[in-house]
Every structure is written in C-alpha cells, then in structure tokens.
Amino acid sequence: MIVLVSLVMSEKKIITVDGPAGVGKSTISKMVAAATGFTYLDTGAMYRGVGFFLKQNRIDIDDEKDLAKQLATLDLQLVAAEDDKADVGVIINGKDVSTLIRSPEMSMVASQVSAFSIVRQKLTQLQREYGAQGNIVAEGRDMGTVVFPQAACKFFLDAQPEERARRRVEQLRIQGTKTDFDEILAMIVERDKNDSEREIAPLKKADDAFLIDTTRMSIPEVVKLILEKAAL
C-alpha cells in the first residue's frame, strides 16, 4: 500500500493548454496551476524573450549561421513574476525583461522568430527540461502536439477573433497601455496566420486534446471545466 501511494505521488503529470493569441491561455493556465499546486510554464514568454534578445542586439535573423552563433550566447530563465500584472518573470542574460516583452510590438516579433527552426529547437529543449520536473501546466501553441505529446491531459482553447481582440484590449488597458481595437484585431488575425501556417510546429489542436470554445464562457467556467476534465 505504501509503495502504491508513493508511486502515485511521484507521478509526473503534464497538462497542456494550447490555442491562438488572446484566447485567455495565460490567465486560465495560471489559475489551473494555482488550484493544483502545479508549476505554470509560459512558453510564449520564452519566444518573446528570444525576440527581444534578437531585436535588441540587431541580429539579422535571415543570416542563419549568425543566428545560431548569437543564440548560443543566450541564457534565458523563467522566474516567478514580481508583480501580479506580469504572467511570469523572464531573465535574458541576467537582465529582467518581464515587462518589456509584453508590448503588442513584441508579440509580433515573437511570432516572427518562432518560425525559425533553430529558435524552436533551443526552446523546445528548454521546455522539456522544465517539463521533466513534472507537475506543470504548459501553455503555448505546440505543447500538446510537439513538446509534450505524451502529456496526460491536453486542452485546446479557442474563441472568435473579435472576442479575443476585446479581451486583449482590456488586458492591456489594465496594464496601463491604451490601444485601438481594430489595430489589435488586425494583429491577432496576422499572428494567427503566422502561427498556424508556419512549417514547423504550427498552432494546431492535438488529436487527443479536448477543445473548449471560450467565446461565451467566463474564465472561472473554463478553469472549472479543465479541472474536472483533468480530474484534479
């Protein structure tokens, strides 16, 4: 009996939450992590961090050799967020870039650099290292399909683009950034296109992921559904 209990306790569970921009993945994943005691893994923050690093150092992303050389010098760490507004803390070569990576401009840059195979290789490896610790809620675009295909519970969140744009405008407003609805909607549509049409690890529902259309659902309703489905 004691052996059985310790086996159950040592099980390393991974919950994946994928979906398009502005669907509420971060808020929902953070709440699921808080309710279960799991660690929240924000993989979008990693792509934003890499985008920030490449942009700040004016690295020519079309020069593949140089890109590889520069990426080898990149040390990226996720830490607990210092303030409630940030999803997660991101440290790039010792510099805290947590707030700098959250602008709409950095969203587009992250989407662009995420299409590069060398960038994905580096981050996929890092994400699997975090995953190896077990008991994580991994949020992104390719968590259920590529990074953690063996995950115990997979979810794919979706919502109509207009609703996602409305949520993003509200989120940015709370963070103190005033934005234009039409501009944010256009960016979301462009990002959806980039993310789902790229060749490597495109945004896609895993065959065994549970689809949740959140358009008419509240955040607590989605969280409750995920916890029920994951039987946690």
Examine residue 49 and tell whether it contacts ligand DC (CB under 6 A). no
Q: What are phi and psi of 226, to 5 degrees?
A: -60, -45
Positions 9 through 28 that interact with ligand DC (CB under 6 A): 21
Give the DSSP letter of residue 121.
Answer: H
Task: Give the total residue count for the chain.
Answer: 232
The least distance separating ligand DC from the CB of residue 128, rounded to whole angstroms, comes to 12
Please report where in the chains the tokens 């040592």 appear, as a residue: 10
Q: How far apart are CA 24 and CA 17, in angstroms?
A: 10
154 interacts with ligand DC by CB under 6 A: no
Q: Tell whether residue 52 is a contact of ligand DC (CB under 6 A).
A: no
Beta carbons within 10 angstroms of residue 8's beta carbon:
8
Give the one residue of 16, 195, 209, 223 binding ligand DC; rule: CB under 6 A: 195
Helices (H), 57-180: 64-71, 104-113, 117-132, 161-174
| Selected binder of ligand DC within 36, 114, 145, 214 (CB under 6 A) | 114
Residue of the chain from 49, 131, 140, 144 that contacts ligand DC (CB under 6 A): 140
Q: Which residue number, 119 or 231, has a Cβ lying nearer to ligand DC?
A: 119
Query: Contact between 156 and ligand DC (CB under 6 A)?
Result: no
Interface with ligand DC includes 47 (CB under 6 A)? yes
Of the pair 2, 116, the CB lying nearest ligand DC is at 116
For ligand DC, give the closer residue by CB, 92 or 231: 92
User: What is d(CA 7, CA 219) in angstroms, rounded to the nearest whole number?
Assistant: 33
Torsion angle, CA of 8/152/227/213, rounded to 10 degrees?
180
- 110 lies in the binding site for ligand DC (CB under 6 A): yes
Tokens at residue 212, please? 């949740």
Residue 41 binds to ligand DC (criterion: CB under 6 A): no
43 binds ligand DC (CB under 6 A): yes
8 Å CB contact between 211 and 156 = yes
Beta-carbon-side half-sphere exposure of residue 197 (alpha carbons within 13 Å): 7
Q: Could you tell me how many residues of this chain bind ligand DC (CB under 6 A)? A: 14
- 119 near ligand DC (CB under 6 A): no
Question: What residues line the site for ligand DC (CB under 6 A)?
Answer: 21, 43-44, 47-48, 107, 110-111, 114, 140-142, 191, 195
